[in-house]
Amino acid sequence: MKKLEALIVGIIGIILLLAFTVKHLESSSGATSDNTLTIYNWGDYIDPDLLKKFEKESGMKVSYETFDSNEAMFTKIQQGGTAYDIAIPSEYMIQKMMKEKLLLPIDHSKIKGLSKIDPRFLDQSFDVGNKFSIPYFWGTLGIIYNDKMVGDNPPEHWNDLWDKKYKNNIMLIDGAREVIGLSLNSLGDSLNSKNMKELEQAANKLNGLTPNIKAIVADEIKMYMIQNESAVAVTFSGEASEMLDGNENLHYVIPSEGSNLWFDNMVIPKTAKNFKGAYAFMNFMLRPENAAQNAEYVGYSTPNMDALKLLPDEIKEDEQFYPDEKTIEHLEVYKDLGAKWLGIYNDLFLQFKMYRK
């Protein structure tokens, strides 16, 4: 019995020693839930100098992790392995995360600066009243072209992509919602369509685009377009901004008949532990000088009206990235289609890619 008691005491001692060691290591590295803010964001989607500035001002350490798709982000947060305090998903994914109860409601009494956000980008259908999200960036999906390679009539509409002169000279972004959506828009239909007839017509029309497609890629579009490897590409506005910086012959247009208007917003996942840090970071990013610095670094459009005033004229007056109200009226926000319809979009897109081969 004494041996058993001694064994139990020994085990308890080891557990206490391990707990003390872990606590000591956390303390010495500053890695505690109270003073570490864990952020989950897209790659290269914040000016690193802003993270350093936040650490200096707040006294907190930032642990920064990145994802390359909304779906990957969703899965990681759903699994709950990491206690993310802030994440920055897109609109349709915010809607899905709300349904799955993966987000915590935001206490607006702790938010400073929401009044600086353009009202057009608040109270969207995916988060009415911004109960779960705070705007971070916004942008569009459009066409980028090389004026040295397209001739006298550059593409301005989705239907222009089917012109035979672009044979083997168009790059598409590798996304089902984007590609099926542009075909739907070209037919005058919603990019959130749940009409099987409309979707089949869009898919059939896409098959006719096959001879013009040079590649269906992701981030590689930037390099290819900068290096004059293709005449035309379909891409997001922020990506286009980087391309324009790298090649003076490139231009970006938003088809007037309709396209995607997207939002990336800050949210607090249910895994969060450092609530003080989460609110401090959101307020930090709502400050006009910080939002402007971030917009200039990343290249995407800021929803912060006061930040917009601080940007250089060549940025804030560029309608390629800050389109007028008339253009915005014809844009649609992606909705969470649900598993069934998202599966249909993915299947149609996969069939299109297989048809190309």
132-146 pLDDT tens trace: 999 999 999 999 999
pLDDT tens digits, residue range 208-230?
999 999 999 988 899 999 999 99
Alpha carbon distance 178, 172 (integer Å): 9
CB-CB neighbours of 340 under 10 Å: 8
Q: Do 140 and 254 meet the contact criterion of CB atoms below 8 Å apart?
A: yes
Residue 28: how many other CB atoms lie within 10 Å: 8
Provide the whole-model pTM.
0.82
Cβ atoms of 91 and 138 closer than 8 Å: no
DSSP state of 267: B
Interstrand relation of 134-146 and 250-253 (parallel, antiparallel or unpaired):
antiparallel
Give residue 40's pLDDT. Answer: 98
Average pLDDT over every residue of 180-194: 97
**Per-residue pLDDT, 5:** 53
User: Over the stretch 3-44, which tens digit does the pLDDT of each residue have?
Assistant: 445 445 455 555 545 544 444 444 433 345 579 999 999 988
- The rounded mean pLDDT for the chain is 90
Region for residue 311 given its phi and psi (left: phi exceeds 0; alpha: psi -120 to 50; beta: otherwise)? beta
Instruction: Note the maximum CA span of the chain.
Output: 94
- The answer to whether the Cα torsion of 302, 305, 310, 312 is positive or negative is positive
Q: Which structure tokens are listed for 302?
A: 């800021």
Question: In the block, which residue shows the tokens 């369509």?
Answer: 193
Query: Can you tell me the mean pLDDT for 243-254?
Result: 95
Which pLDDT value is given to residue 12? 58
112 pLDDT higher than 80 = yes
Which 8-state DSSP code applies to residue 124? -
Judged by DSSP in three states, 302 sits in coil
The pLDDT value given to residue 219: 80
Report all structural domains of the chain as residue ranges with CATH numbers, in order of start.
33-137+263-316 (3.40.190.10), 139-261+324-356 (3.40.190.10)
